[in-house]
Amino acid sequence: MKSILLASVALIGLVCEASAQDAAYNWSGSYIGVEGGYAGSSVRFNADATSFDDTYHKDGYLGGIYAGHDWQSGQFVYGVVGDFDFIGMHDTEFGQLDLLGKGETYTYDVDWVATARGRAGYAVTDGLLAYVTGGVAAGHFQATSYSNVFVPFPPFSSASTSDFSGVKFGGVFGLGTEYALADKWSLKAEYLHYIFDEIEPGPGGTAGASFRPSLDTVKFGIAYRF
């Protein structure tokens, strides 16, 4: 999966390099833009006693805004950037109930992510920038754990649910390319990998249930540069 995402970023970089501008371009200044692309969600699930310890995946899309400021010294460019993206994908669901409704089920979802990052790059040509980036991330997550077990007395089952809905923090790193269309506009292609703090739904549900989220994104954006 990651090799495909990295190849997407590399491809747009090669295409842009082939048609890079001849005129000198200065990357210094502020910018604001809109972005969209692919989001691949992964969650590592564990519990004290379960048959469903595993990593579960779901693909979707994202869209949002970004803004930042760059400084340039020779061919080296460095700066700060922040973004906010809504994530569009259905809940990740796993687990199993038998015909009597006994068993365990789980749901997991990510609604949005945001980052605050530094970035450092090199102007491969006057109009083409290649860069690496990293910083802190935040995301809004929802997770549910449901358990229904047999007990040897009426009502012969014990069902409980635990839920989590809130913000988790983590880190983010990646790489990208940016191409200057004109003095005021630029295009970017960017791969980011996010890792977040563990989610523990709390009392109820399956004992010790925990979710460890991560996210991979490929974003394409267009920015207006001031």
pLDDT classification of 14: cutoffs 50, 70, 90: very low
DSSP state of 183: T
CA 50 to CA 185: how far, in whole Å?
A: 52
- Give 129-171 pLDDT, tens digit per residue: 999 999 999 999 999 999 987 666 666 667 889 999 999 999 9
Q: What residue spans define the domains of the chain?
A: 2-225
pLDDT at 225: 95
Q: Are 1 and 173 in contact (CB under 8 A)?
A: no
Q: Give the pTM.
A: 0.86
CA 21 to chain centre: 32
- Give 17-72 pLDDT, tens digit per residue: 444 444 478 999 999 999 999 999 999 999 998 989 999 999 999 999 999 999 99
**Mean pLDDT score of the chain, rounded to an integer?**
89
Structure tokens at 98: 């038998």
Sequence-ordered list of residues with C-beta below 8 angstroms from that of 138, at least 6 positions apart, any chain:
113, 114, 115, 167, 168, 169, 170
Is pLDDT of 100 > 60? yes
pLDDT over 90 percentage in the chain? 76
The full DSSP string for 55-108 is: EEEEEEEEEEEEEEEEEEETTEEEEEEEEEEEEE-PPEEEEEE-TTS-EEEEEE
The answer to whether the bond into 213 is cis (omega within 30° of 0) is no
State the amino acid at position 23 in one-letter form.
Answer: A
pLDDT at 156: 61
Which 3 state secondary structure label does DSSP give 124? strand
Residue 116 or residue 98, greater confidence: 116
CATH code matching the domain that covers 2-225, chosen among 1.10.3720.10, 3.10.129.10, 2.40.160.20, 3.40.50.300 = 2.40.160.20
CA angle 41, 33, 20 (to 5 degrees): 100
pLDDT classification of 192: cutoffs 50, 70, 90: very high
